[in-house]
Structure 1
Amino acid sequence: MPRTRRSLLRRSLAVAAIVLALPLAGWLLLRGSLPRYEGDMRDAALQQTVRVERDALGTVTVRAQSRRDANWALGYVHAQERFFEMDMLRRRAAGELAELFGPAALPLDRTARAHRMRARMERALAALPSQQRDALDAYRDGINAGLADLAVRPFAYLATFNAPVPWRSEDTLLVVAAMAFTLNDAEDKRELALMRMHAALPASAYAFLGASGGGWDAPIAGAPLSWPEVPPATDLDLRSLDPALLRGSHGVTDPRVPGSNAFAVAGSLADGAAIVANDMHLDLRVPNLWFRTRVVYPDPRGTGAMIDVTGAGLPGTPAIIAGSNGLVAWGFTNSYADTADWVRVVRDPNDPSRYRVPEGWATTEKHAERIHVHGAADETIEVEETRWGPILARDVDGTALALAWVAQQPGGIDVELIRIEAARNIDEAISVAQASAIPPQNFIVGDKAGSIAWTIAGRIPRRVGGFDPLLPADWSTPGTGWDGWLAEDLHPLVANPPWKRIWSANQRSVEGAALERVGDGGYDLGARAAQIRDTLRAHEHFKVEDMLKIQLDDRALFLERWKDLLALELNRAPPSALHDKVKQILAGWNGHASIDAVAYRLVRAWRGEVVDAVLDGFAGAVRKQFPDFALPKLPQSEQAVWKLLGQRPAHLLPPGNADWDALLVAALDRAARKLDAQPGGITARTWGERNTARIAHPLSRGLPAFVARWLDMPYEALPGDSHMPRVQAPDFGASERFAVAPGDEAHGYFMMPGGQSGHPLSPYYGAGHADWAAGKPTPFLPGPAQHVLEFSPR
């Protein structure tokens, strides 16, 4: 063979070998970062032997002789299965994501870094009781041991060309803070928008748009509120509004409201023990936020009993967030308590660094926050702090505004909640919940004796001085502002109500003085809560499986009246081929947000167009003074819009509409044309097409499509929507579903999307997801151990 041909052949073979070797090398690297599932290990941090079991779904059972050793073992397991996800949570709160992801993450980091959470959590850690610090230190040591025991760093760091940074004890507090960022409006944008509305609208219009409740209310205790009267033409007339001030859709029709369903029935309606159900609604991802966990260890109170708690763990913390310990079961929903206030910072005109406080003048502190950026130069931002919080905005008159936020305050975050797993009845559980420093949450609890209760868990600020908490206030006036935390005995509480049922779906839960203490942080419309409440009221006996029927309820009760109104308007509208199609579709209404429902999708789209058009008139009135104004999330706006549609006042009709019928028909035509313009026309537009789950790994968007589809969960149409118990959107919904009667965990269920492990080669990657999507219950308790890992003291 000529020399040239031999050379070409060698080169070709070399290239082929490289092409074949690269996938093999990648596979070997992935294999190297797989968690350790079996074997015996020793570590000097342990005091006694710990056994870690995994069942077919990857549910982890930790059997230890102390909670401290269990914390270490949980840290080890969490690091091996989920370190990248834990890392993102701590970095999200600390404003350190750009260190991993480069300049694209800078906007998020700039926003978070203004809160200086790492510095605050370092101080919070130092202030914790020694028992809590010891628990966090043990958990930290386990995390770092688990990370060090991986032969290759987790694959996400290989993909992003990074190396993991060891865990610190304060990082666990940062994970709790990350949940506060998720569940609270950390920038308090809603109240900034209300501030502008208050300045630009007459008092009657501001009250009409911003009311706290109406006919859809479903409080646990109390009655629905009355929606304010329609503003008179002498106060506001939108007919004279410049049409150029209208923007059309502004995203307030169905705002994503991070929240949950939780409900309980007393033991007298079950078989002796209470039944508690919980499905927490959050952004969905791969792997899931929660971690199926069981922890067993002797009761530290010396009772001779064992603490045996099962439920949803949160990697990054050693706690079981929601679950059951055989005596007590509990769950959470976001309370939408008012957790933040804007404070007017009145500066000294001769020295802007000084600002007025009740005792005279104080000096702001300026902090240079350096943000490390992967692949680019670092960026430094300056944060100016007051005693109330950082200065982040300005009032309508230009006065600087400082943000007072629960999560920023000393004592606002701790890990007290871990003690709830030792509670023996609802009274002990309530005491722990109310004393815990977590983002304020609705806490629903039931016990083996049959008792049930609701309260607010977490810190609630004690407001004094009679200021309006929805608008900026001057706290330099003595006796005005936050005066510590609300005493635990002042937290609202509903225990063992005579109606024997408790329901929570992010709605207003109480009224009167209790509501004033908690505040209105933008809680959800009560439609979802009312549907749960009414279903509970319709039955006098419950089993655990009845709870799942409620959680999977996709009946479109909320849209029924909109469907009826649309049918009425069609009869009044001029005939057209498109309207004929709409009539045909409406005839097939099945009353559910099912995947094959075309009518549901059409009615929902029409309602969105109507609500946006009606509210945009008010927004346009605000834009006369603030041209860049956008309406905030107004979860109660349904009540205002429906009242307008009932009364049809001509002076509140947005410009460009001859009358209210014309507005409704124009909205229908817009919605119908958008649907009809898609392939197959309007009759092919099923709800499932719109509501296809796309639950993705955080890195998949930046990877080739074939890799992304391998990392992501299957794309599949799912029933459900907002304003019904089965909350479902493409990447949002029930991050878990469980129901359990304490003491009868063997008959409970626990379902979870996205899987247990974060490693794509793990047998537990995506485990259980198919059952969650299908609504098929999986057992609450772990199954037989398939893998066992034992740790012993060195």
Structure 2
Amino acid sequence: MLSAALAVFVLLAAWCALRGSLPQIDGEAALAGLSAPVSVSRDALGVVTVEAAGETDAMRALGYVHAQERFFEMDLMRRSPAGELSALFGPMALDADRAHRVHRMRARARTAVDAASVAERELLAAYAEGVNAGLGALRARPWAYLLLRARPEPWRAEDSVLVGYAMYFDLHDAANARELALWKIRPHLPQSLYALVTHPGSAWDSPLVGPALGDAVLPAPEILDLRALAAAGDGGADRRSGPTPVEALEPAAPGSNNFAVAGSLTAHGAAIVADDMHLGLRAPGIWFRARLSYSDPRAPGGRIDVSGFTLPGLPAVIVGSNGHVAWGFTNSYGDYLDWALERPCAVRGIAAQRVAAIEPLAPAGKAANAGNPDDCVELAAHRELIGVAGADPVEFVVEESAWGPVMHEADGGRVLSLRWTAHLPGAINLGLLSLSRAADVEQALVLARDIALPSQNLVIGDSGGRIAWRVLGPIPQRGASCEALAPVATTGNAACAPWGMSTRIGPTLASPTADRIWTANSRVVDGAALATIGDGGYVNGARGAQIRDALRAVERFDESALLAIQLDDRALFLQRWHDLLGERARVQGTPALTALAEAGADWDGRASINSTGYRLVRAWRLAVNERIAKGLLAPARDALGEEFTMPALPQLEGVAWPLVTQRPGHLLPAAHASWDALFEDAAVQVRDGLAALGPLAERSWGEANIARICHPLSAALPGRLRRHLCMPADPLPGDVHMPRVQAPSMGASQRMVVAPGREADGIIHQPGGQSGHPLSPFWGAGHADWVQGRPSPFLPGAAAHSLVLAPR
């Protein structure tokens, strides 16, 4: 009896502690530092409206609200780029911390705060004080810390800079793995083969400026013959240790869609801007909806009224509309990182990860990369301590040259150092706040020249009907004769000296030159503008082409029309692969191809949840392309052995499609006797892999594309409790090569369609809900609308809860 009573007491105590970490949403609370009371209201979905006397009060109050609703998520956002997760999660996070600590982002964040303007430091301080006040006002520490048996640490001004750096890690390849993999294979492929593998476009190209590059022109047998290369190597043996899981071959990458139509195409005369940013999905979602209203003499009419999405940890509205302009972002996929191959002057006792032999040898006309191999560089050593929950701190030494941190060891006592825009002073600032006070597109473009964040495609529209695009953020300023994709030697090499960067050189396109603008992480421009941005692995243009063609198909738009484009799950990209599969099944009549064609007879031309045809065609294309990529890169794989890494090849479609339609014998991967055999072998992999799950005709796309949107701590709980920290496991339509980008844990982290000045007609979606507390009524609020694509109002609804923050 006593033990039962004790168990009940423990459960009640735990329940009370859990409820004690819920935010205060009604009544009055004191907040030191305010110049006047601030009103904080929440609608039925928990969307916050902050009404304040001025900008500093508004950001102080926003920090208070962010902390009460999302402090744990903010904590992860500051710890991740700094390499400080082990202090919460113990040794299991050490590898992740080492990978990020080498960038020394905590030190860079402190430097950024010290270099910030007085006004920026005041805003960062006010926000941090608001965060700490909101955290301290909770009756119990946030529930995640109870589970981790940890205590939250106070927020500092530098932590907001770290949150900005977290977006650099999300949107850039901080390991610069693609460039390294390409450079490693380059010496082992004939020039004609390397040019084919890295062909920079396809028939799906959809730039705003310039023509499509089109599919690759296949080299003639006398120029390139894979069979002859295989005979000189090991016979082109297929070293695949086992079938690659077909669902994992083409993961969704961080990116976004944004597009806009000018006022000449709308009934009301205002531009309409659509934006959906594709990131990892979790519960709660990464963004936090808010409307901020406060006096500001710099704004039109002396007042700011801006609505949209904030990022807990930062004092700003990231994307949204202020009644005069609306703006949104997509990842630009420019080239913002470079390697240098350097010889340290001193003997070192530090061991970094080794790479294969690599030389800074540039192709013809690019000899500047080579430099003087006999010179050396000085390295500075920084001794970092990584805190580890439940264990002793781990010492970690970071070495840096003038180029950047040492990331790898190379042969001959040399090292590979990394230069990244995120490392340099000026990589992050609070300039994004200025868009909230922009009066029109022209002013927004002027303000954008000084905004620093991970470089993005900015699309803007204004209430007067104008639209514009610009690459926003810092861009490297490289020497003209220094090749961006090759490691450089930094000594004796003025052309490839450590580059600086500028936020003022991003290309721009504005109406009336364009009345429709679209970006979707693919190439946007060509010529000198493309050379300025660089190629950081921009994605295949099919998604952008589908958006472009939908915008060109009609002459009149409203908000619902742009939402329909965001939700477009037509499989235009795969239609020709569906036709090819059917044609090969009829011609070849082989068992696996026939099985796929028959089981996928329900093809409806969409990535719909009930379509088996879509899943089978998608998987077969990936299996075919896997064999093509392995065949093309076989000489490099043979030469490098275990050092070989398959590079990301986002434009492979521009090579694969000519190969599978023309089927030249001299470019057939050597592991296959014929193209027919390759097609059947790919079909066998798909058939056998999916048939293991049950009848092939029942393997729908919805079975594979089921939402896995959970709180970061969900995996630590047993199954019955875990589901309370996850959104429903809904089957989801959409995929990567169409506007409705969707994977189980990746996709549209928000959707927004709005005309500035007509926000009441705008549409918004938010997966994962507003609150980070599973007992909150706002946990998962609005998520079902995101799943179903139902329009949700852009502006907050009527106040359901009201809190007054009073000066103390």
Query: Considering the TM-score relative to the shorter chain, is it more than 0.5?
Result: yes
Corresponding position: 1:54 with 2:42: yes
Please report how far the alpha carbon of residue 363 of structure 1 lies from its aligned counterpart in structure 2 after TM superposition.
Answer: 2.2
1:506/1:524 contact within 8 Å kept: yes
> Contact between 1:250 and 1:612, CA under 8 Å: does it hold in 2?
no
Deviation at 1:357, TM superposition (A): 9.8
TM-score (norm 2): 0.93
Please tell me the residue identity of whatever aligns with 2:496.
T
Q: How far did 1:653 drift?
A: 1.9
Structure 1 stretch displaced more, 586-595 or 476-485: 476-485
1:176 and 2:164 are equivalent in the alignment: yes
Contact kept in structure 2, 1:464 and 1:482, CA below 8 Å: no
2:749 to 719, 735, 738: 735
Contact 2:450 2:503 in 1 (8 A): no
1:539, 1:782 → 2: CA distance?
31
**Structure 2 partner of 1:326:** 323
Contact 1:202 1:236 in 2 (8 A): no
1:612 corresponds, among 601, 626, 646, to 626
Distance in structure 2 (CA, Å) of the matches to 1:235 and 1:466: 29
- Once the two structures are superposed, the pairs formed by residues 205-284 of structure 1 within 5 Å of their partners are 205-233=193-221, 235-238=224-227, 239-240=230-231, 241-244=234-237, 246-247=239-240, 249=244, 253-270=249-266, 271-284=268-281
Q: Mind listing any 5+ residue stretches in structure 1 that lack a counterpart?
A: 1-12
Q: 1:86 aligns with which of 71, 74, 94?
A: 74
Q: How does 1:641-680 map to 2 (within 5 A)?
A: 641-679=656-694
Deviation at 1:395, TM superposition (A): 5.3
1:714-729 alignment to 2 at 5 Å?
A: 714-729=728-743
- Which of 287, 291, 296 is 1:290 aligned to? 287
Q: Could you tell me which of 703, 709, 732 is aligned with 1:689?
A: 703
Give yes or no for contact 2:328–2:459 (8 Å, CA) kept in 1: yes
Is 1:246–1:617's contact at 8 Å kept on the other side of the alignment?
no
Pair 1:433 & 2:421 matched: no
Any idea what the Cα deviations from partners look like across 1:12-63, whole Å, max 9, x if unmatched? x012112323322221111111101112223331111111111111111110
Contact 1:503 1:532 (8 Å CA) reproduced? yes
Q: Name the residue aligned to 1:32.
A: 20
**TM superposition shift of 1:673:** 1.9
CA shift in 2, pair 1:351/1:62, >3 Å: closer
SS at match of 1:742: coil
Indicate the SS of the match to 1:403.
strand
Q: Distance in 1 between matches of 2:626 and 2:691?
A: 20
Structure 1 residues 566-619: Cα deviation after superposition (integer angstroms, max 9, x where no partner): 01110122454x555433334321001001001001101111110101101133
Query: Does residue 504 in structure 1 map to residue 519 in structure 2?
Result: yes
The equivalences for 1:228-627 within 5 A come to 228-233=216-221, 235-238=224-227, 239-240=230-231, 241-244=234-237, 246-247=239-240, 249=244, 253-270=249-266, 271-301=268-298, 304-348=301-345, 362-394=377-409, 399-476=414-491, 477-486=493-502, 488=504, 490-576=505-591, 579-627=593-641
Q: Over residues 66-120 of structure 1, what are the superposed CA-to-partner deviations in whole Å (9 max), with x where a residue is unaligned?
A: 1100111000000000000000010001000010001111111000000000011
Instruction: Report the secondary structure of 2:170's partner residue.
Output: helix
Which of 753, 773, 780 is equivalent to 1:766? 780
| SS in structure 1 at match of 2:397 | strand
* Among candidates 76, 84, 106, match of residue 64 of structure 2: 76
Q: State the partner residue of 1:7.
A: none
TM superposition outliers: structure 1 runs of 4+ over 6 Å: 349-353, 356-361
Aligned to 1:635: 650
Contact persistence 2:42–2:799 (CA under 8 A): yes
Counterparts of 1:34-183 in structure 2 under 5 Å? 34-183=22-171
Task: From the superposition, tell whether residues 302 and 86 of structure 1 become closer, same or farther in structure 2 (CA, over 3 Å).
Answer: closer
Distance 2:377 2:628 in 1: 46
Separation (CA, whole Å) in 1 of partners of 2:480 and 2:341? 15
Quick one: distance in 2 between partners of 1:352 and 1:364? Answer: 12
Query: In the superposition, relative to structure 1, how do residues 699 and 352 fare at CA in structure 2: closer, same or farther (>3 Å)?
Result: closer
2:655 & 2:348 partners in 1: Cα distance? 46
- Write out per-residue CA displacement over residues 181-216 of structure 1, whole angstroms, 9 at most, x where no aligned residue: 000000100111011121211111111111221211
How far apart are the structure 1 equivalents of 2:347 and 2:75? 45
How big is the shift at 1:474?
A: 1.8
Separation (CA, whole Å) in 1 of partners of 2:348 and 2:767: 56
Separation in 1, partners of 2:624, 2:593: 17
Q: Distance in 2 between matches of 1:630 and 1:487?
A: 33
In structure 1, what residue type is equivalent to 2:123? A
Q: Residue 791 of structure 2 corresponds to which residue in structure 1?
A: 777
- Structure-2 separation of matches of 1:57 and 1:357: 62
What is the Cα deviation at residue 500 of structure 1? 0.9
Aligned to 2:357: none
Letter of the structure 1 residue corresponding to residue 255 of structure 2: G
Partner-residue secondary structure (3-state), 2:536: coil
Whole-angstrom distance in 2 between the partners of 1:406 and 1:526: 25
Q: Which moved more, 1:118-127 or 1:615-624?
A: 615-624
Cα distance in 2 for partners of 1:659, 1:302 equals 67
Judge conservation of contact 2:205–2:214 (CA < 8 Å) in 1: no
1:396–1:517 CA distance, 2 compared to 1 (3 A)? farther
Deviation string, structure 1 residues 312-340 (Cα, Å, up to 9, x no partner) = 10000011000000000000000001110
**How large is the Cα RMSD of the aligned pairs?**
2.1
Structure 1 residues 376 and 352, CA, compared in 2 at 3 Å: closer, same or farther?
A: closer
3-state SS of the aligned residue for 1:156? helix
Amino acid in structure 2 at the alignment position of 1:296? S
Cα distance in 1 between the residues matched to 2:510 and 2:453: 21
Structure-1 separation of matches of 2:179 and 2:593: 41
Shift in Å at residue 231 of structure 1? Answer: 4.4
Distance 2:270 2:372 in 1: 53
- Unaligned runs of at least 5 residues, structure 2: 351-370
- Distance in 2 of aligned mates of 1:566 and 1:507: 27
- Matched to 1:472, the amino acid is P
- 1:394 to partner: Cα distance: 4.4
